[in-house]
Amino acid sequence: DYTGVSWERPGLHDQASSFWLPALTGSVEALHEVLQLPAALRACPPLRKALAVDAAFREGNAARLFRLLQTLPYLPSCAVQCHVGHARREALARFARAFSTPKGQTLPLGFMVNLLALDGLREARDLCQAHGLPLDGEERVVFLRGRYVEEGLPPASTCKVLVESKLRGRTLEEVVMAEEEDEGADRPGSPA
C-alpha cells in the first residue's frame, strides 16, 4: 500500500523507477505492482521508460528494446544486463523463423550488430554459430531451415555497447555520483 508515502521528495521518482526497471522486465507481478502506484509516479519519465522497456521485452520487439536499452543511464543498464542474452536469443529465433528457407537466405551480420546492439561482428558471428547458423564468409549469416538450435544458456556478452560505453572514461564512482546529481533534473546542457 503506497497511500502513506510522500512522492514529492526530490529524486524519489528516479529512485523508484531505477528499482522497478530490473524487476519489470518480463514479470507480470512487478508490472501489476507498478500499475498500483499513484498516477503522478507512473508519469515520471524514468518510470515511463522502464515501462516502455518492459513492453518492448514482453512484445518481443527487438528493435525497440535495444534502441531503448541504448538510451538508459549506466546503472539501469547494469541492472537489465542479465536480460540481454535472452532478448538477443529471442530475436535470433524470430529471424530464423522469418528468413529460413531450404536453400538459405543470408543477412548481413552488420545489420544484426546494429539491431541487437552487439559489440561487433565477432560477437554476431559467435551468437549465430552458438545457435547452429552457418556463416557465408565473415560478414553474413545463412538462415537454413532446421538449422537454428538453442542449447543451454544464451552466450555471454560483455555488453560494451549497452553498458561499458556509458562509463565514457569515468570511474564507476564518478558515474554514480553524476547520475545521482542528474536525478529529477531535466536541465538542458547537463553533462551526460
Query: pLDDT at position 191, please?
Result: 46
pLDDT tens digits, residue range 2-33?
Answer: 444 444 444 444 444 455 565 566 677 877 88
The whole model's pTM is what? Answer: 0.79
More confident of the two residues 93 and 10: 93
CATH code, domain carrying 108:
1.25.40.990
pLDDT tens digits, residue range 27-86?
Answer: 778 778 878 888 888 888 888 888 899 889 989 999 999 999 999 888 888 888 888 999
Query: pLDDT at position 25, please?
Result: 67
141 close to 100: Cβ distance less than 8 angstroms? no
Tell me, yes or no, whether 94 lies in a domain: yes
Please give the C-alpha separations between residue 18 and each of 12, 24, 70, 183, in angstroms, as whole numbers. 10, 10, 15, 10
Number of domains in the chain: 1
Tell me, yes or no, whether 174 lies in a domain: no
Task: Tell the residue number behind the cell numbers 529460413, with chain if given.
Answer: 100
Tell me, yes or no, whether 30 lies in a domain: yes
Cβ atoms within 10 Å, residue 54: 23
Quickly list DSSP for 76-117: HHHHHHHHHHHHHHHHHHHHHHHH-BSS-EEEEHHHHHHHTT
pLDDT at 190 over 60: no
Tell me, yes or no, whether 176 lies in a domain: no
Number of H helices and number of E strands within the chain? 9, 2
Query: pLDDT at position 155, please?
Result: 83
Tell me, yes or no, whether 3 lies in a domain: no
Tell me, yes or no, whether 61 lies in a domain: yes
pLDDT tens digits, residue range 111-137?
Answer: 999 999 999 999 999 999 999 999 999
Q: What is the CA radius of gyration of the chain?
A: 19
100 close to 147: Cβ distance less than 8 angstroms? yes
Quote the domain boundaries for residue 38.
17-166
Which H/E stretch holds residue 143? strand 140-143
Tell me, yes or no, whether 138 lies in a domain: yes
Tell me, yes or no, whether 80 lies in a domain: yes
More confident of the two residues 20 and 177: 177
pLDDT at 150 over 90: yes
